[in-house]
Structure 1
Amino acid sequence: MKPVILWSDALIFLLVAALVLFFWRLRRDPQTRDRWRQVFASRLGMAAFTVILAYVGVALLDSLHFRRALPPPDGVSTGEVFYDNQVSSVLDTLTAGMGERFERTYSAPFALRSFEKQTLKDEAGNTVRDFPPLRHAGAQLADPTEKWADVVRRSAPALGGGLALAVLLILPQWWLLRGSSLPWASSWLVQGILACTAVWLVSISRHYHVLGTDLGGADVLYQSLKGVRTGVLIGALSTLIMLPIAVTLGVCAGYFKGWVDDAVQYLYTTLSSIPGILLIAAAVLLFQVYIDLNPDAFPTGLEKADAKFIALCFILGVTSWSTLCRLIRAETLKISQLGYVQAAHAFGVSHGRILLRHILPNTVHIILITFVLDFSALVLAEAVLSYIGVGVDPSMGSWGNMINGARSELSREPAIWWTLSGAFLFMFLLVLSANLFADLVRDAFDPRTRLGPEAA
């Protein structure tokens, strides 16, 4: 195989490395370490963080791209290796070809026949209108009435494999953390449920479409899994692009005051006066024009979709910094009047040292709270933008694209509900976990609140 590194792949691994380094350095601060311990002392916080890590793990697996080596042509001996034009990921391999099993069109979850009638010929050669059997779902069944018995029969070894995977994951953790006072059992329970569910879904999907198929016959479960990478990346990258802008301008405005404060207030007041959706849509469309006018810069469709995705993350970050900037400006105004900052001025300490040693460390709680809160908001924003047609490229897996494609399906009779349900289920679980974790982080780091014993 030949590795393929996209810009978004490099960014997500740099992001994970930066977060690991950030939390590792935070361990040196006893006060910060104690506050994080308060977050993870809650069973709810431990469970929510485990779900978030599972989504990040799926996104990382889907960011390891490669091109498979093709077998040499028959009768040709050559030392040159040819590679497939299609770019795959490790997630595609682990899902056992779920994305390669296409049907003709819609099919309901666990269905054996297509959702739409087609013109067929019966055994006598007569032309009839009927629901044709699916090519992949239930192909192993001799009698269609044995479908659910077959599902139950295949579920037992799949769940057994999931339990074995859960044991392999949890046993080393238990050995290393058995003396810890944190509620690791909550995390281990969630890990066990996720491992069993993942193995069961992959195993059963080899023989059935668990969440049905869409208009093009693609597996809805596979599309939902491919949307995980988009959701995690757009939430994290957009927030990280927004943070330096908001922190720099907010701290400068609150510390230097005067014309600097006036200029920063003018910037975010003007930005807040422009409807956000219209501003983002205009920027995305301008970048799309640039892509169309420079086709040589993006030789493949995947690179074009990746460039548009990175641009969308940048645009979301640049247009969403005003709220955090206001908060940091107000906090900096308060901190700059405290006694120890005034004493530093009296001793002739430089502005840069005061900002780095006294101002920024005391705004970390606002930055952390905003990061976890804005993450879920930006995941939902991607769905809204894709729904109105200015989100990620249609060729890229995205929950927003799934919802956009499902809006006309709900008006059918009977309604096609499973495409929307697949995107909703995966997005709901990520956003709910992020919001629950954000509430606990806010309670732990906000000086005005503290975690109560009932939260655990």
Structure 2
Amino acid sequence: MSDALPPPPGTWARLRKNPVAMGAMLILAVIVFAAIFGPLLYHVDPHATSRAQYQPPGHAHYFGTDNNGRDSLARILEGARISLLVGFSGAFISLFVGTTYGLVSGYLGGRADNIMMRLVEILYALPRLIILILFTFVFDTHFKIWLAAHGYLSMVGYSKIIILILALGLIEWLTMARIVRGQVLSLKNLQFVTAARALGQSHARIIFRHLLPNIAGIVIVYLTLTIPAVILDESFLSFLGLGVQAPQASWGSLLSDGAQVINPVHSYWWLLLYPALVMSITLLSLNFLGDALRDALDPRARR
């Protein structure tokens, strides 16, 4: 007995024939490589101030400098690290929570499913931005105290980032849970699940051994769409000054700094253009990749 329905044949071949998908994967690979190794290869301290304030892009500073004379390229590379870390980590937390919740809700069905889905609808009705702001303000100070009390002094400066990852991950799982639950409802009465029950397999084994492999494609596709959503949320909070705090930088905080120096008298355009360009390319590549994966994993592609 097969544990999962066979995937569409030639999934990778169809994905490879899609030039948009391959281009998006290449761009994402370059951006991730730059985020990981860029600060190591580009030997400029992103926090080092100088008298070279508001210098336009040139040989000395490829992306120019900001109001404190800091190199903008080094700041964008540091921002890429933080924004991608928050985006990927928050999305994977959302993936774990939403997939598990949706699997259990759809498999149990009946009253348990109704109660679990009503809870999701209640959480949907709450204003997400206010929850994120309250979460970061309430837990950030307590988390810093806890880190200092347990000797993790080196982690105190990263407490805001950790809180952002947890907050965004625990907010974005709602849609994932609804998608997974709907798929499980359509699969749990099929023959391979009925046969597994007849063989006396446990509920946990049926859920994670038989049902989960069948929805893996849909989960992966939605994961690629959750990552840009988390990055946007983090950037919006940082843009408002509620996310990553100076001297650390994310793409959102860099956009906020750039927007403050755009005025009719002096337009330091590079401080806004380059962070917006890098962030836009990353989000577009993730969305294009998600669309391509959805088409490649479509069961109708068997034809």
What TM-score comes out, normalization by structure 1 length?
A: 0.60
CA distance in 1, matches of 2:246, 2:115: 39
**Residue among 35, 50, 55 paired with 1:102:** 50
Q: Do 1:55 and 1:232's aligned partners in 2 also have CA atoms closer than 8 Å?
A: no
**Residue among 240, 260, 277 paired with 2:92:** 240
1:45 and 2:21 correspond = yes
Q: Do 2:235 and 2:253's aligned partners in 1 also have CA atoms closer than 8 Å?
A: yes
1:373 and 2:219 correspond = no
Cα offsets for 1:423-447 (capped at 9, x unmatched): 1111112112111111101111233
Task: Give the aligned residue type for 2:98.
Answer: A
Q: Do 1:372 and 1:438's aligned partners in 2 also have CA atoms closer than 8 Å?
A: yes
Q: Do 1:309 and 1:392's aligned partners in 2 also have CA atoms closer than 8 Å?
A: yes
Q: Name the structure with the higher helix share.
A: 2
Task: Give the aligned residue type for 1:247.
Answer: T
1:278 and 2:113 correspond = no
Corresponding residue for residue 257 of structure 1: 109
Cα offsets for 1:261-317 (capped at 9, x unmatched): 123112211111111111111101112222565573498986323222122111100
Change (3 A) 1:253 1:292: closer
Task: Give the aligned residue type for 1:54.
Answer: V
Across the two proteins, how many residue pairs are aligned to each other?
Answer: 298
1:353 and 2:205 correspond = yes
Report the Cα offset of residue 37 of structure 1. Answer: 3.0
1:217 and 2:69 correspond = yes
What TM-score comes out, normalization by structure 2 length?
A: 0.89
Q: Do 2:8 and 2:298's aligned partners in 1 also have CA atoms closer than 8 Å?
A: no
CA distance in 2, matches of 1:314, 1:300: 18
CA distance in 1, matches of 2:150, 2:246: 16
Structure 1 unmatched runs, 5+:
1-28, 62-90, 111-203
Q: Name the structure with the higher strand share.
A: 1
Report the Cα offset of residue 97 of structure 1. Answer: 2.8
1:435 and 2:287 correspond = yes
CA distance in 2, matches of 1:51, 1:325: 30
Structure 2 unmatched runs, 5+:
none
* Aligned-partner SS, 2:189: coil
CA distance in 1, matches of 2:283, 2:81: 14
Change (3 A) 1:368 1:33: farther
CA distance in 1, matches of 2:149, 2:95: 29
Cα offsets for 1:105-156 (capped at 9, x unmatched): 222223xxxxxxxxxxxxxxxxxxxxxxxxxxxxxxxxxxxxxxxxxxxxxx
Corresponding residue for residue 155 of structure 2: 303
Corresponding residue for residue 255 of structure 2: 403
CA distance in 2, matches of 1:293, 1:343: 53
Change (3 A) 1:263 1:34: same
Q: Do 1:48 and 1:436's aligned partners in 2 also have CA atoms closer than 8 Å?
A: yes
Q: Do 2:8 and 2:299's aligned partners in 1 also have CA atoms closer than 8 Å?
A: no
Report the Cα offset of residue 234 of structure 1. Answer: 1.3
* Aligned-partner SS, 1:404: helix
Task: Give the aligned residue type for 2:31.
Answer: Y
Corresponding residue for residue 390 of structure 1: 242
**Greater relative contact order (Cα < 8 A, sep 6+):** 2
Q: Do 1:305 and 1:392's aligned partners in 2 also have CA atoms closer than 8 Å?
A: no
Corresponding residue for residue 11 of structure 2: 35
CA distance in 1, matches of 2:149, 2:34: 29
Corresponding residue for residue 182 of structure 1: none
Q: Do 1:234 and 1:378's aligned partners in 2 also have CA atoms closer than 8 Å?
A: yes
Corresponding residue for residue 58 of structure 1: 34
Task: Give the aligned residue type for 2:115.
Answer: A
CA distance in 2, matches of 1:263, 1:354: 22
Report the Cα offset of residue 413 of structure 1. Answer: 1.2
CA distance in 1, matches of 2:8, 2:238: 38
Q: Do 1:227 and 1:399's aligned partners in 2 also have CA atoms closer than 8 Å?
A: yes
Q: How does 1:79-158 map to 2 (within 5 A)?
A: 91-97=38-44, 99=46, 100=48, 102-110=50-58
CA distance in 2, matches of 1:451, 1:403: 45
CA distance in 2, matches of 1:342, 1:433: 41
CA RMSD after TM alignment:
2.6
CA distance in 1, matches of 2:143, 2:52: 32
